[in-house]
Structure 1
Amino acid sequence: MRKFTRRVFRSVLLMALSVVTLSATAATSVWKVSSGDNVLYVGGTIHVLRQSDYPLPVEFDRAYLRADRLFFETDLEQLHTPEVVQRMQQAVRYPDGISGLDKRVSAALYQRIEKVWAQYGLPPEAMVGLRPSGIVITLTMLNLQQIGVDAQGIDDFYHRRAIADAKPVGGLESVDQQIRLLAGMGAGDEEKFMSMSLDELQQSGGLVDGMVEAWRRGNLTDLDRLVLEDMRRDSPAEFRKLIVDRNRKWLPQIEAMLADRQVEFVLVGSGHLAGDEGLIEQLQQRGYRVEPVQ
């Protein structure tokens, strides 16, 4: 989610159901997963919100209060350190001596990128050397600011709360993995990636409202349509890298949590819960009982 673009929201904010039965009954994007007497909670998050989107649905607090420890997509404390921020800034730039984006897309598209960049009041020299991810992230964040999407996201909200309450926290993947995903956005298909991203940036007027509404209702069908459908169809390699492969790596970790007596609260981007490839459907297929928290 400043206007959201589908591609950036599912990728950035990196860096996300055909199963109608759950989406029709869920009250919000929090699910209880059971294996015998062992339980954990899975919450779908939006990484950036508007002030008007608070307070969060009460089900998030219920899961948080019952949890002994929290897990996020990555180590959020490390993610915000100056050293990691610097590495991420470097990751969205091409190394010196390597051809830039102007050599990787058509002249017409590059002119369009320059025009949009200038429309946001950005100096042209600031774009030189940026990878597609750097350009799209910059434009998206400025776009989001324009519509007031500047509040703390759900992940940061509960991470800070857990630290204050001395609850253990962890990450499902390393910061290095997230940096590699960031650097690789659009690589090898820069023309299509940039063209679609600019199209979505212009057409994203009501997407924030739709995504927040679907998230509040736990409507996995709508989340699949808004977050994943286009990427699954138009960019299957990107979809596999950003969604499917990561979900598959996270599932054994979640299953290990279900093997112990502690109660975990796993918070990941809502796009990772939706669709046949999503965590909710995959956990059901593995025989766990999955029910919405109401």
Structure 2
Amino acid sequence: MASVFRRLIIGLTALLISGPGFSAAEPEGPISLWKVSSETSSLYLLGSVHVLRPDMYPLPEAMTRAYEAADELVLEVDLSKVGQYEIASIMRAHGYYESTRGVEEDLSPETLTRLKTYLQETGLSYNSVRRFRPWFLSLNLGLLALASEGYDPDSGVDRYFMKRALDDGKPIAELENYREQIRMLADEPLAVQDLALRSYLDSAPDINTQISELLRHWRTGAVDEMYTRAIAEVSEYPPLLGQMERLIDERNRKMAAKIETMLQDNDTELVVVGVLHMGGEQGLVRLLGDHYQIKQLTSSP
């Protein structure tokens, strides 16, 4: 079983990837990269995985060529503009309970029991996480599972290109901002946060299989299949369909509007957005393709 929140750990905050990266021996084929063109301008749209292992590099040549051709890098969030103190302050405000309050006050008995079982199975102390709000707890459990397998946010596709842009002096812009993203997660109804956490806990034993499937879809640019699978899994929990709409589809429409303004200037941008935002009827590929010429690229330019 799965939830959109876990998919967001996979897609928005950490797309969990396992298995080999790209290699020169692989046959050429479509990847999660598109060229979008208006009558006067063009840009590249890249579906990102936010957490990878260092040994999964290099990326396909077409991705690095797109970066080199771009005048500006555009990210969901430019983390180079957010200091550690600001991050800590935002997390204290939105991720932790104040005083002696704990997550048990906002979880159903079923989810709380499942949480304590999971923590015992993984060797974690309940007291070490009880002050985490449900959404923040889900996120941290996912990231801890990642770290135990050697995955690192610093090796994510967006971080990789952000570091290159900083080194190269290439301008960086953002579609959203860090505080906005955190508030979006924290503002989800408590009942939805509870259900998302329970879904994550129930599905944790199958995470390696899920990761391998997501990797395959990302590597081959099969973004519609990825989105369809996410919807099918979320449909097991009807309240989470609303979360999918809020955290994916509504944001897609806002991001598409901002990307459209870039197609009115003379610059070439590389827009790097979580790959789960690409597929489906309300995905960025479809939204932009309704008004502009869009072409999916292959691993070699």
Q: Which one of 133, 148, 151 corresponds to residue 149 of structure 1?
A: 151
| 8 Å CA contact retained: 1:71, 1:266 | yes
Superposed structure 1 runs of 4+ greater than 6 Å apart: none
Distance 1:240 1:199 in 2: 23
Which amino acid counterpart does residue 56 of structure 1 have in structure 2? L
Equivalence map 1:223-262=2 (5 Å): 223-231=226-234, 234=237, 235-262=240-267
Instruction: State the match for 1:192 in structure 2.
Output: 195
| 8 Å CA contact retained: 1:186, 1:194 | no
Instruction: State the match for 2:61 in structure 1.
Output: 58
Relative distance call for 1:227 and 1:80 in structure 2 (3 A) is farther
Instruction: State the match for 2:109 in structure 1.
Output: 107
Instruction: State the match for 1:6 in structure 2.
Output: 7
Shift of 1:12: 3.0
Unmatched runs of 5 consecutive residues or more in structure 1: 15-24
Instruction: State the match for 1:18 in structure 2.
Output: none
Distance 2:163 2:296 in 1: 25
Task: Write out per-residue CA displacement over residues 125-176 of structure 1, whole angstroms, 9 at most, x where no aligned residue.
Answer: 2122211122112211121123232361000000010011110001101222
* Residue-pair matches, total: 279
Instruction: State the match for 1:21 in structure 2.
Output: none
Unmatched runs of 5 consecutive residues or more in structure 2: 16-27
| 8 Å CA contact retained: 2:134, 2:194 | no
Q: Which one of 280, 293, 299 corresponds to residue 289 of structure 1?
A: 293
Paired-residue identity, %: 30
Distance 2:49 2:248 in 1: 15
Shift of 1:233: 6.4
Distance 1:85 1:236 in 2: 30
**More off after superposition, 133-142 vs 168-177:** 133-142
SS in 2 for 1:205: helix
Distance 2:258 2:46 in 1: 15
Instruction: State the match for 2:169 in structure 1.
Output: 166
| 8 Å CA contact retained: 1:231, 1:238 | no
Relative distance call for 1:56 and 1:163 in structure 2 (3 A) is same
Distance 1:11 1:64 in 2: 21
Relative distance call for 1:185 and 1:120 in structure 2 (3 A) is farther
Relative distance call for 1:128 and 1:233 in structure 2 (3 A) is closer
Relative distance call for 1:135 and 1:174 in structure 2 (3 A) is same
Task: Write out per-residue CA displacement over residues 3-53 of structure 1, whole angstroms, 9 at most, x where no aligned residue.
Answer: x95353135339xxxxxxxxxx96111100000131001000000012332
SS in 2 for 1:30: strand
TM-score (norm 1): 0.86
Task: Write out per-residue CA displacement over residues 48-89 of structure 1, whole angstroms, 9 at most, x where no aligned residue.
Answer: 012332111111111101100011001211345332233224
Relative distance call for 1:231 and 1:293 in structure 2 (3 A) is same
Relative distance call for 1:26 and 1:225 in structure 2 (3 A) is farther
Which amino acid counterpart does residue 240 of structure 1 have in structure 2? E
| 8 Å CA contact retained: 1:7, 1:231 | no
Shift of 1:279: 0.3
Which amino acid counterpart does residue 189 of structure 1 have in structure 2? V
Distance 2:88 2:66 in 1: 30
Instruction: State the match for 1:22 in structure 2.
Output: none
Instruction: State the match for 1:46 in structure 2.
Output: 49
Instruction: State the match for 2:24 in structure 1.
Output: none
Which amino acid counterpart does residue 88 of structure 1 have in structure 2? M
SS in 1 for 2:131: coil
Shift of 1:122: 2.3
Distance 1:227 1:278 in 2: 13
Which amino acid counterpart does residue 10 of structure 2 have in structure 1? F
| 8 Å CA contact retained: 2:103, 2:132 | yes
